[in-house]
Amino acid sequence: MSESTRLRDAQELSSPYNSLHDSYVSNKTNQKCSVSALVATGCLIGVGILLAIVVIEKIKHEKEINEALNPHLSSTCCNDTDPNEQSSVVLVESFPEGVDLRRNSSAGSDLYEAWRTLLSLATEQIDVASFYWSLTDQDIGVNSTADTHGRAILEEFKALASRNVSVRVVSSIPTLARNSTDLEVLQKHGVQVRRVDFGRLTKGILHSKFWIVDRRHLYIGSANMDWRALTQVRELGVLLLNSSTLAVDLQKIFESYWMMGVWNSSIPQRWPDTLQTHINEEQPLNTSLSGVNSRVYITASPPAFCPDSRTHDLSAILSAIRGAQSFIHVSVMEYYPASKYFNLHGFWPVLEDALKRAAFDRRVFVRLLVSCGRESDPSVWPFLRSLDALHSPSDNINIAVRVFIIPAGNQTRIPYTRINHSKYMVTDKLAYIGTSNWSADYFNTTAGVGLVVSQDALQKNSFQQQLRAVFQRDWSSEFSIPLSELQNNHDCAFPTHTP
């Protein structure tokens, strides 16, 4: 209750006494003053209690962060991992039912199996950040057997308490899954849940999607905790096993969300020292991933949620584009060089200019693969056409745009499906896997994370090479068409090619 409300209530309570007969005034003056003083004192005490509660809560949550991270700070004091820790990196994917891209040897591991692996490995704690949760078909009012995997994942989360595994979940306000009961169900099974009001804090959303298991294993990728992500949407992510240094670093980002998930939270002018990082673009982690020498760091957005030492997501992407010497391959659900949410409309050519400069100044081959589905925003096409129009091999300018279209088939009743939801980039220098679409809001006001992996290009079977092979597979697949062949009706569920 606010101070003004308390004062109003106090006034209402004292009003009957104001109507006492005048004959009592002279005799009760001192008593009335005492009552007023008590009311005022009560208000001040009430306000003081509220302030004390807020302060205690903030101290409590900072203490939680310190206790969670301090035992592991020694592992992040320098940028080399424990040589005895055998870290593995696994590219993971999911495909809509009926889409066969796994026949290619470059396909990643199955996303559903990756999540099950993380659940089976957990012995102490799982922390999950996701835009929303919707693991059953009833959440969106449909009846589909395609939610089987989602239901299985939900059941495994519900059973974690019986294994003495603690679970914390952060999700977004606002959210897409207004009718989902997943988080309420999980709370009844001992899961701690906090919703971060990014709408109030930054005029954005919490769009990050990652898991941290036992501060040792982690997942980052495009998939929300949604049954459709497992069977109806093309997703891409990365699984890191036995990588405690990176897991603890990602834990710091989770703790910033957790800290802001309390009532009346406000973004601190300076984030606690325990949330600072020693791993960033200037000082990447030197480690071995699946036997390949690698330099790795984790990025985050928006800037307001980044401690001074954390590399911003946008900065990492721009740096990767500037550093490319041969090629830049980008696969993203939506590319839109402007702001479009929360009435913040405005042109934002930051990424577009960087791609054009790479193609024009350094003759880098740029390929951009964007998704198109029934819910696609038609306002993106003029920007994509203007970018694609620069393709002029005779002038040594090589920018090509293609559209990835997954036929809806018999799934038209299920919204937000049959799309390529992945968000990644691979160049001749590095691989980047993120959680953000490429528009202004996602980098300036919305929470997201990214993983940057740089490896020796001469090393075989590197993660970088595998991601490049996946892009080339998608680029040349039957689901990819040149932008020029897309008709102007913007209905990509059943595209018609021009002659």
Among residues 110, 197, 214, 428, which one is catalytic?
Answer: 214
**d(C-alpha 332, C-alpha 330), whole Å:** 6
**d(C-alpha 418, C-alpha 408), whole Å:** 6
Q: Which residues pair with 231 in a beta bridge?
A: none
Task: Tell me whether residue 63 is one of the annotated catalytic residues.
Answer: no
| pLDDT surpassing 70 at residue 95 | yes
Could you tell me the pTM of the whole model?
0.84
**Residue 14 corresponds to which amino acid?**
S
pLDDT tens digit sequence for 324-356: 999 999 999 999 999 877 666 789 999 999 999
Q: Residue 315 in contact with residue 281, Cβ under 8 Å?
A: yes
Nearest to 418 by CA among 330, 333, 329, 331: 333
Task: Tell me whether residue 209 is one of the annotated catalytic residues.
Answer: yes
Q: Is residue 460 part of a domain?
A: yes
Same-domain status, 32 and 123 = no
Structural domain count, the chain: 2
Same-domain status, 184 and 300 = yes
Same-domain status, 48 and 158 = no
Q: Is residue 496 part of a domain?
A: no
**d(C-alpha 497, C-alpha 499), whole Å:** 6
pLDDT tens digit sequence for 120-137: 999 999 999 999 999 999
Q: Residue 211 in contact with residue 247, Cβ under 8 Å?
A: no
Q: Is residue 490 part of a domain?
A: no
Cis, bond preceding 302 (omega within 30 deg of 0): yes
**d(C-alpha 154, C-alpha 227), whole Å:** 10
pLDDT tens digit sequence for 47-89: 455 445 544 555 555 555 455 455 444 334 557 766 668 899 9
The last residue of a domain, from among 70, 95, 120: 70
Read off the CATH number of the domain in which 359 is found. Answer: 3.30.870.10
What six digits make up the tokens of 487?
């008709």
Q: Is residue 492 part of a domain?
A: no
Percent of the chain with pLDDT over 70: 78
Same-domain status, 277 and 206 = yes
Q: Is residue 475 part of a domain?
A: yes
Same-domain status, 334 and 354 = yes
Same-domain status, 404 and 324 = yes
Task: Tell me whether residue 72 is one of the annotated catalytic residues.
Answer: no
**d(C-alpha 110, C-alpha 98), whole Å:** 15
Same-domain status, 60 and 168 = no
The last residue of a domain, from among 41, 70, 99: 70
- The one-character DSSP state at 311 is P
Say which residue the tokens 């949550």 belong to. 61
Q: Is residue 82 part of a domain?
A: yes
Helices (H), 205-243: 227-231
Among residues 149, 209, 312, 423, which one is catalytic?
Answer: 209
Q: Which of helix, strand or coil describes residue 97?
A: coil
Which residues does 172 contact at the CB level (< 8 Å), separation at least 6? 131, 132, 195, 196, 198, 205, 206, 207, 447
Same-domain status, 269 and 309 = yes
Say which residue the tokens 């999607």 belong to. 209
Q: Residue 76 in contact with residue 277, Cβ under 8 Å?
A: yes
Q: Is residue 493 part of a domain?
A: no
Same-domain status, 212 and 127 = yes
What's the pLDDT score for residue 374?
A: 81
Among residues 149, 421, 423, 429, which one is catalytic?
Answer: 421
The last residue of a domain, from among 50, 70, 90: 70
User: Which of 96-110, 231-245, 454-468 is most confident?
Assistant: 231-245
E strand or H helix that includes residue 338: strand 338-339
pLDDT tens digit sequence for 280-312: 999 999 999 999 999 999 999 999 999 999 999
Mean pLDDT in the chain?
Answer: 84
Same-domain status, 129 and 214 = yes
**d(C-alpha 73, C-alpha 71), whole Å:** 6
**Residue 210 corresponds to which amino acid?**
F
| pLDDT surpassing 60 at residue 15 | no
Left if phi > 0, otherwise alpha if psi is -120 to 50, otherwise beta: which for 14? alpha
Say which residue the tokens 């060089």 belong to. 337
What is the domain range of residue 51?
3-70
**d(C-alpha 113, C-alpha 132), whole Å:** 20
Q: 448 falls in which pLDDT band (50, 70, 90)? A: very high
What's the pLDDT score for residue 332?
A: 98
Q: Residue 447 in contact with residue 305, Cβ under 8 Å?
A: yes
Among residues 61, 207, 217, 252, which one is catalytic?
Answer: 207
Q: 31 falls in which pLDDT band (50, 70, 90)? A: very low
E strand or H helix that includes residue 466: helix 463-475
Same-domain status, 35 and 94 = no
What's the pLDDT score for residue 78?
A: 58
What six digits make up the tokens of 169?
């979940």
Q: Is residue 285 part of a domain?
A: yes
Same-domain status, 20 and 102 = no
Say which residue the tokens 């006492």 belong to. 20
